[in-house]
């Protein structure tokens, strides 16, 4: 009986796996849109298929009560461990109880180095220091900087705003102790991708009025998430079903990050969480009319939707600057440091970056902007994997290094 049981179990697992593959194939073929002008579309489709398969498996395990969806997705985001690096000292430390990994160039320096603090992406739910190990090593080596990667606590185990507070705590600690790492405290740059860009923006905004610590010299925002009022901007329409971060998954992850009921997703997507008074107040900053015409091909203004007070009441955090830093007042924005913004064409968050670029420039903040015509959300996560990486991954990393070396 035992061989028969083992054979039945194996057959059952294989059938279940094949069903998952078929479901993922259907989902990928009919939902995900990978345009031919995207970066290496065939490779991108393979990765999207694997991601879809893991998503379906993760959701199935959650329904069965075996594990939560985000736990399996975290494993996928970890990537492969990197090899030893002879050009860097790498240490795991804690900055006021926040875990960090610091990368110090071994080569001698005639003067104090610049410092770079990096906040990883992953919707505040995924990602880790290890996920961006290759990028942070590249950053430290190529720019000759002391780089600090912050391992902030993740949601939903640690409720918002624990993530922002960890990033803020680590930044303040580094600004105060920079010289002990051979860093000039007046040459510290903050950098992040996706939600890491959100944390970067928030940290810079919250520190503009601090007089007890050195000023942040510059900030680097890589396809950042910056607002949760309007999910019907041109980039949301164009990239509604794009790889890795669809419009639907964007809102789902935001609600999950904030520990909110994800059944409100459709109402938030439609804009029913925003009262008319708030729409009018922030229309001067969040408005498709502010997007350059070349990014609005095919855009159609959405139909009006009814305001739902109960959804608004449950999602008030979406209007706070720690979640939507694009809503900060001009008195704060005008005091921000020099900024590098990197946007990707195949990304629902493209227009967040474009709108913030305009806000900064309107407030006389110096902005360097790089747009990846073939780029997609999460591109930086693939950096450093050789033939398994993408040209846009290297272009983003090189733009960041080039910007940082100017300081």
Q: Residues 322, 365: one domain?
A: yes
Query: Does 92 qualify as catalytic in the annotation?
Result: no
- The residue annotated as part of the active site, out of 273, 346, 370, 377, is 377
Positive or negative CA dihedral for 289, 293, 296, 297?
A: positive
Q: Report the number of distinct structural domains present in the chain.
A: 2
- Domain-terminating residue out of 55, 77, 99: 77
Active-site entry in 145, 194, 235, 246: 194
Same domain, 63 and 84: no
Strands (E), 255-382: 338-346, 367-376
CA distances from 245 to 33, 38, 128, 322, 347 (A): 11, 14, 18, 21, 7
Place of tokens 């925003």: 274
Which among 87, 85, 57, 90 has a CA at the least distance from the CA of 73? 57
Shared domain for 6 and 136, answered yes or no, is: no
Question: Is 194 an active-site residue?
Answer: yes
Fill in the DSSP letter of residue 35.
Answer: -
Give this prediction's pTM. 0.92
From first to last of its 407 residues, the chain has per-residue pLDDT tens of 455 555 555 545 555 555 555 454 444 444 578 888 999 999 999 999 889 888 888 888 888 888 898 998 898 888 888 888 889 999 999 999 999 999 999 998 989 999 999 999 999 999 999 999 999 999 999 999 999 999 999 999 999 999 999 999 999 999 999 999 999 999 999 999 999 999 999 999 999 999 999 999 999 999 999 999 999 999 999 999 998 999 999 999 999 999 999 999 999 999 999 999 999 999 999 999 999 999 999 999 999 899 999 999 999 999 999 999 999 999 999 999 999 999 999 999 999 999 999 999 999 999 999 999 999 999 999 999 999 999 999 999 999 999 999 99
Task: Kindly provide the residue ranges of all beta strands, DSSP E only, lying in 28-134, ordered along the sequence.
Answer: 88-95, 98-105, 113-119
Choose the catalytic residue: 28, 347, 351, 352.
Answer: 347
**Same domain flag for 181 and 300:** yes
> Per the structure block, which two tokens stand in for 93?
């430390």
Q: Are residues 233 and 246 in the same domain?
A: yes
Is residue 347 flagged as an active site residue?
yes
Question: Among the three residues 51, 77, 103, which one is the final residue of a domain in this structure?
Answer: 77
Structure tokens, 38: 């995207």
Sign of CA dihedral 353, 354, 357, 362: negative
Tokens read off for 294: 């070349």
249 and 377 belong to one structural domain: yes
- 52 and 103 in a single domain? The answer is no
Positive or negative, the Cα torsion across 7, 8, 9, 12? Answer: positive
Is residue 349 located within the same domain as residue 299?
yes
Q: What is the largest CA-CA distance in the chain?
A: 77
Alpha carbon distance 323, 222 (integer Å): 16
**What is the domain extent for residue 338?**
78-407
- Is there a single domain that holds both residue 396 and residue 304? yes
Residue where a domain terminates, one of 36, 52, 77: 77
Place of tokens 């005639």: 110
28 and 88 housed in the same domain: no
């Amino acid at each position: 009986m035992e061989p028969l049981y083992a054979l039945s179990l194996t057959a059952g697992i294989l059938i279940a796996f094949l069903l998952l593959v078929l479901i993922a194939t259907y989902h990928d073929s009919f939902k995900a849109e990978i345009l031919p002008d995207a970066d290496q579309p065939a490779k991108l489709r393979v990765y999207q298929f694997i991601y879809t398969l893991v998503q379906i498996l993760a959701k199935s395990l959650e329904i069965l009560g075996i594990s939560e969806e985000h736990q399996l997705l975290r494993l996928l985001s970890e990537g492969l461990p990197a090899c030893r690096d002879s050009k860097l000292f790498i240490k795991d430390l804690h900055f006021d109880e926040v875990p960090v990994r610091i990368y110090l160039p071994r080569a001698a320096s005639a003067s104090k180095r610049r410092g770079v603090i990096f906040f990883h992406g992953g919707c505040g739910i995924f990602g880790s220091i290890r996920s961006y190990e290759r990028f942070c090593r590249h950053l430290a080596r190529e720019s000759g900087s002391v780089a600090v990667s912050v391992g902030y606590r993740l949601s939903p185990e640690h409720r918002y705003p624990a993530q922002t507070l960890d990033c803020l705590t680590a930044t303040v600690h580094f600004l105060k102790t920079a010289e002990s790492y051979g860093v000039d405290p007046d040459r510290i740059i903050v950098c992040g991708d996706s939600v890491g860009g959100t944390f970067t923006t928030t940290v810079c905004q919250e520190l503009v009025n601090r007089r007890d610590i050195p000023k942040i010299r510059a900030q680097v925002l890589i396809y950042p998430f910056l607002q949760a009022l309007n999910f019907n901007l041109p980039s949301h329409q164009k990239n509604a079903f794009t790889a890795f971060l669809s419009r639907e998954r964007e809102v789902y992850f935001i609600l999950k990050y904030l520990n909110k009921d994800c059944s409100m997703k459709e109402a938030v997507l439609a804009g029913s969480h925003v009262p008319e008074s708030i729409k009018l107040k922030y229309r001067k900053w969040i408005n498709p009319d502010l997007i350059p015409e070349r990014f609005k091909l095919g855009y159609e203004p959405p139909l009006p939707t009814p305001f739902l007070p109960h959804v608004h009441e449950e999602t008030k955090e979406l209007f706070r600057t720690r979640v939507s830093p694009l809503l900060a007042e001009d008195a704060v924005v005008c005091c921000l440091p020099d900024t590098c913004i990197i946007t990707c064409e195949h990304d629902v968050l493209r227009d967040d970056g474009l709108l913030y670029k305009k806000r900064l420039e309107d407030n006389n903040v110096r902005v360097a902007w790089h747009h990846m015509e073939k780029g997609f959300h999460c591109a930086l996560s693939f950096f450093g994997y050789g033939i398994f990486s993408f040209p846009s991954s290297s272009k983003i990393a090189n733009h960041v290094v080039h910007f940082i070396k100017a300081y």
